[in-house]
């Protein structure tokens, strides 16, 4: 399976925080490291037939999107105000 590993340079995800977590979704799974002030993508592994895109517009929030012809899974990970992840599944 394809594996995408990326880390935004300068994101404070090494110290403190909730550590390493894997978030599953229908379209794939994302592994992230929660730091005290930021979140870093470790890997994003799409399921069969899904494509992966990632976006990180701020150190404290990361979005991983898995898309197929009929489904989209969006994983949003943040450390503000606390470390948490949400998954939004959409079929079309």
Cα angle 33-36-86, degrees, rounded to a multiple of 5: 55
Residue 7 in any domain: the answer is: no
Residue 35 in any domain: the answer is: yes
Percent of the chain with pLDDT over 90: 70
| Total structural domains within the chain | 1
Which range of residues forms the domain containing residue 64?
19-91
Rounded mean pLDDT, 25-38: 94
pLDDT of residue 16: 78
- For the whole prediction, is pTM greater than 0.95? no
Residue 37 in any domain: the answer is: yes
């Amino acid at each position: 399976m394809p594996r995408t590993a990326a880390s935004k340079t300068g994101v404070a995800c090494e110290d403190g925080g909730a550590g390493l977590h894997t978030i599953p979704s229908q379209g794939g799974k994302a592994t992230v490291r929660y730091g005290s002030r930021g979140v870093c993508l470790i890997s994003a592994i799409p399921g069969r037939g899904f494509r992966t895109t990632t976006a990180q517009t701020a150190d404290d929030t990361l979005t991983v999107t898995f898309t197929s012809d009929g489904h989209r899974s969006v994983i949003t990970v943040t450390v503000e105000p606390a470390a948490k992840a949400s998954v939004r599944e959409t079929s079309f």
